Amino acid sequence: MSDITRRRVLRNTALMFGAMALRPSGAFAGVSPVHGIAMHGTPLYPPDFTHYRSVNPQAPRGGQLVQAAVASFDSLNPFIVRGTAPPFIRWNIVESLMARSPDEPFTMYGLLARSVETDDERSYVAFELDPRARFSDGAPVTPDDVLFSYELLRSKGRPNHRSYYSKVAKASAYGSNGVRFDFAEKDRELPLILALMPVLAKHAVNPATFEETTFRAPLGSGPYVAAEVKPGETVILERSPAYWGRDLPVNRGLYNFDRLRYDFYRDVNSQFEAFKRGLYDIRFETDPGRWKTGYDIPAVRDGRIRLEEIETGMPKPYSALIFNMRREIFADARVRAAMVELFDFEWVNPNLYFDVYKRTASFYEGSELAARGRPAGEVERKLLAPFPDAVLPAVMDGTWQPPVSDGSGRDRESLRRALALLDAAGWSLDKGTLVSKASGKPFAAELLVGTKDQERLALAYQRMLKRAGITLEIRLVDNVQFEARKQTYDYDMVPYIWDQSLSPGNEQAFYFGSAAADTPGTRNFMGLKSPAADAMIQALLVARERSDFVAAVRALDRVLISAQFSVPLFHTPGQWVARWRKVERPTVVSLSGTLAESWWQGS
């Protein structure tokens, strides 16, 4: 071969590989990029959809929406463990590759990425970025920003980010505007998890100081930018003047206000008084007493404030008092079961909450995913067969329910059952005090609470436990201390609410996985280490068919119920919403209820 011929061959070969590099990955993977991806089945909306059905695409833009929270904050970085940052920074300022549909269990559509691609095994995912995407300073969003964000969050982000992104074997750019992630293990949810990854601007982040708290909001590509910050008191966001994505289908009808103001209050009473005075616009009520009696005010009677009860299609939140099983006093399941017996819901509901609550018994209450009232099917039994002691017989056959009292607050049968469990666990009554048979030490625990509403319930529970000789100390702390102690598992008991979707996935390991039990900042507040729970989580992650997925989630539900690591509390039938008439909402609500980002300024 002559030198000239050799040079031509080398040149043509280089051109061929260069052209391949510029093609979408689907051109050589045998898979075509698509506009959306669903966890199970196919997306609801077609490629040419214009907006979600739960928004008003003609909503006017302008005005200000004021919201309030009982909390405080000492940082505006929501992606790290250190500090307490308001969550609204995440979805108003920092965008993801794709947006989650509010009208489906778990489906993603293009946002920063205009298309997504994955194979049937979901062994990888590739995203083609929208060339129009810009950060709020005008810089383009590039594959380099995506890869930087992935590396940063994997090494320095919150535990859920570190856990999810560690499953990626390789991350790389392709073509002129593509990013591809190849996975180290099978996990059918990972493509959607990567689609939800927050994308930060590489040129505006210092990795060396990323984990430090700051009152400077991250530079994002979202519809708003931080305009004013009063530490611990107020955050004001203003519309990004040149927001690149305002006309995308996933944004049409959303983010309608020019200005968002968030005010922080130290207690519920002062927050509620502020609402009645018109200092903020929307209130999502959680207290049934206040809902029943607190809104008998002129602004409600003359129609300036509207009260609405809104149904949702989601599993009901699992509200509970959590036992910290890392503490020796709660290591025995019989002790925990006894304390569940002693909680008198039938007295609490009418006497504290106007009898409006329903008792919660499942971690996926009110949905097809719940095991409550359902005997385990064949698929569930096969999944649970390697763990014969992980599920109580009554939970397996669907007959288990939380204990029911006579509602008197003095039920002798409940007390008898609780004392029998405690006796079997090595505790006995001595002159009205429950003591250890081995050491003579009294049974005493502390319940950490962060609000007056939590304290009221805790005091009622304290009286119930006293009948069995148990001393429960109530410790009310401010929000910052409450969150700090909760994140480091520094408590005997703590209240918490797990919100679940219709498509639970990787976050279940963050909530209930063994690896999360010893990692600060997770939501495994009870310290659960259950091989059975780990296996059920893995089963739901690899399920392809909806029926297999539902079976795996129900099996997980049975394991969690049987672990008896909490006192299950109660839930409302839907959302209780109070709003001043000057703000309006869509008539069609999403699966999770009405969303503040879909509201607009009324006339």
Q: Give the model confidence (pLDDT) of 259-287 as tens digits.
A: 999 999 988 999 999 999 999 999 999 88
Task: Report the pLDDT value the prediction gives residue 9, as an integer from 0 to 100.
Answer: 38
**Tokens standing for 307?**
């009260």
Residue 21 pLDDT greater than 90, yes or no = no
- How many Å is the Cα radius of gyration of the chain? 26
Encoded amino acid at 286, one letter: T
Superfamily for the 318-571 domain: Dipeptide-binding Protein; Domain 3 (3.10.105.10)
Q: How far apart are CA 502 and CA 332, in angstroms?
A: 32
**Phi and psi (nearest 5°) for 372?**
-60, 125
Long-range contacts (CB closer than 8 Å, 24 or more residues apart) made by 540-546: 540/504, 540/505, 540/508, 541/187, 541/188, 541/189, 541/505, 541/506, 542/186, 542/187, 542/188, 543/40, 543/188, 544/40, 544/188, 545/40, 546/40, 546/41
| Nearest alpha carbon to residue 397 among 380, 420, 421, 419 | 380
Q: Do β-strands 358-359 and 570-571 pair in parallel, antiparallel, or remain unpaired?
A: antiparallel
Question: Which residues, other chains included, contact 339 with Cβ-Cβ below 8 Å and sequence gap of 6+?
Answer: 323, 418, 465, 470, 567
Closest by CA to 232, choosing from 268, 274, 264, is 264
Flag whether pLDDT at 168 surpasses 50: yes
Q: What pTM did the predictor assign?
A: 0.75
Question: How many residues are present in the chain?
Answer: 603
Q: What is the model's pLDDT at position 494?
A: 98
Are residues 207 and 156 in contact, defined by beta-carbon separation less than 8 angstroms? yes
Given phi > 0 = left and psi -120 to 50 = alpha, else beta, which region is 273? alpha
Q: Is the pLDDT of residue 364 over 80?
A: yes
Mean pLDDT of 27-54: 88
Distance set, CA 557 to CA 63, 159, 512, 602 (Å): 44, 23, 11, 43
pLDDT of residue 2: 41
Element at 573 (helix H, strand E): none
What span, in angstroms and rounded, lies between the C-alpha atoms of 213 and 232?
13
Task: Report whether pLDDT(8) > 50.
Answer: no
Q: What is the 3-state secondary structure (H, E, C) of 22-44?
A: HCCCHHHHCCCCECEEECCCCCC
- Other Cβ atoms less than 10 A from the Cβ of 228: the count is 11
Q: Quick one: pLDDT at residue 167? A: 92
**Could you tell me the pLDDT band of residue 545, with boundaries at 50, 70 and 90?**
confident
pLDDT at residue number 390: 98
> For residue 119, is pLDDT > 80?
yes
pLDDT in tens, 204-215: 999 999 999 999
pLDDT averaged over every residue in the chain: 92
Domain boundaries, the chain: 318-571
Phi (first) and psi of residue 385, to 5 degrees: -55, -40
Residue 164 banded pLDDT, cuts 50, 70, 90: confident
188 CB contacts (<8 Å, ≥6 apart)? Answer: 39, 122, 541, 542, 543, 544
Q: Residue 326's closest CA among 142, 495, 526?
A: 526
pLDDT of residue 29: 55
pLDDT at 185: 84
Residue 31 binned pLDDT confidence (cut-offs 50, 70, 90): confident
- Indicate if the pLDDT at residue 160 is higher than 50: yes
User: Is the CB of residue 128 less than 8 Å from the CB of residue 195?
Assistant: no
